[in-house]
Chains A and B, each alone.
Chain A
């Protein structure tokens, strides 16, 4: 998974001009760009597209990067989620208002439960490392901040192996696969890295 901010040109006050973005939008819209490589793209908002400073504005490095604001989701540990049958849940999409007045995506992770299950050899039958499990869960929730209610393809953004009419489209080698994979030997490390069909289920900036 990677995060970038496309399409954000900037104003150059010295020369009083608008500078076009170095990386064109086609990078995420053309088959010659990332989609053709089978990579999903998280389209990030710049500060003008949302409020909530400083929560969505975390990437102030230098020069060029100063012009690029990167959103941040807030990760909160919790022991009792609204859904007792989940390891984590997400509140708010990156383009939404989030949980007022916090106004940023929030993902609550039942870390203790995940760790207890990771340490249980009757559940974690393949000995998956806890950090892998935690990363996978957080990445899954991070995906939801982008795939917020993509209901046109069913399952609210989850990838479950099929499209809306049941044709095979996605596979489980993806952070946004519907279920945590205790039976897996290796957990996904990315969003659909080997299955370009998955990208058609991604919802970019609406």
Chain B
């Protein structure tokens, strides 16, 4: 009990000592955690948002807001357990940092594996990304009322004003009646739509090679290419939420919201990432199939 108490005191002191870019102490009082029964909806909302499915993300997040108010949640996604067995308590950020820096358990970027968020920031960002600037501004104001110096809401408010003054309109996708289904199987994990990489590349017109390579993460060298961009290639790493984009021989690291993994000889990757690389502007899962919007300039 004493140890627990001292840890809690220590964590509180450290939290109080944390400085954020643009966030003074008034914003540091953490929001309450969502109750356990809300965690699945939270995971769903974050996954939808990270896959660019903003409208359904808003629907789920508003439901959370109505039920629980502005709460937060944090968790380790399922893919992490394929890579490491022991994990720190995701709610104890100090521990997560310590495990990362000290390579406790094994060398692993635990901080890069955490998922989470707050209801208010999810709504603000989803509305903004959807181009619904009036709604985004309302949620930015909502956060700024509690924390007047919060950096991202401050910027969102300014950007909303900028776009509203210019009369910017939300992105209009073609009617869903002309979206086409893809001949591609998928699976769902933590509400991410995952597809077998080699099959998906064939369907989407991407090049792909998966070859044994003991030097690479998971023992596989995975490379995705785009025929119309011969100087660009991506390297994916099993069990790592990062992608390396090779452009004219130079590497550049990018994030991927769900780490690729291999199961029964198949490499699974999130569909949203592949869709982004081929310029698909809208997609959804309907009746067990992935439907995509026509690319710009096509009917």
Contact = CB atoms under 8 A, between A and B. Distances in A.
A81 B24 CA distance: 15
Interface string A119-133: 010110100000000
26 contacts: A76-B111, A79-B112, A83-B20, A84-B72, A84-B116, A84-B117, A85-B20, A85-B23, A85-B27, A85-B121, A85-B143, A85-B150, A85-B151, A86-B22, A87-B151, A89-B18, A91-B14, A99-B97, A102-B98, A108-B97, A112-B254, A120-B129, A122-B159, A141-B19, A178-B151, A183-B162
A99 B114 contact: no
B255 A79 contact: yes
Contact of B101 (A76, A89, A180): A76
B18 A125 contact: no
A202 to B, nearest CB: 15
B116 A80 contact: yes
Given A82-B93, A84-B118, A123-B159, A158 B24 contact: yes
B254 A115 contact: yes
B255 A158 contact: no
Contacts of A90: 18-20
Given A86-B22, A87-B21, A115-B255, A80 B163 contact: no
Interface string B78-94: 00000000000000011
Contact of A99 (B14, B112, B131): B14
A39 B224 CA distance: 48
Contacts of A102: 97-98, 101-102
B155 A76 contact: no
Interface of B: 10, 14-15, 17-25, 27-28, 30, 72, 74, 93-94, 97-98, 100-102, 109, 111-118, 121, 128-129, 131, 143, 147, 149-155, 158-159, 162-163, 168, 241, 254-255
Interface string A169-193: 0000000001110110000000000
Nearest to A178: B22
A1 B119 CA distance: 38
Contacts of B117: 80, 84
A91 B95 CA distance: 13
**Chain A residues touching B, majority SS:** loop
Contact of A85 (B113, B128, B153): B153
A168 interface: no
B112 A158 contact: no
A79 B114 contact: yes
Interface residues of A, number: 49
A7 interface: no
A149 B111 CA distance: 25
A180 B21 contact: yes
Interface string A84-101: 111111111000100111
Contacts of A116: 255
Contacts of B155: 123, 179-180, 182-183
A133 B116 CA distance: 24
B153 to A, nearest CB: 6
Contact of B255 (A87, A91, A112, A125): A112
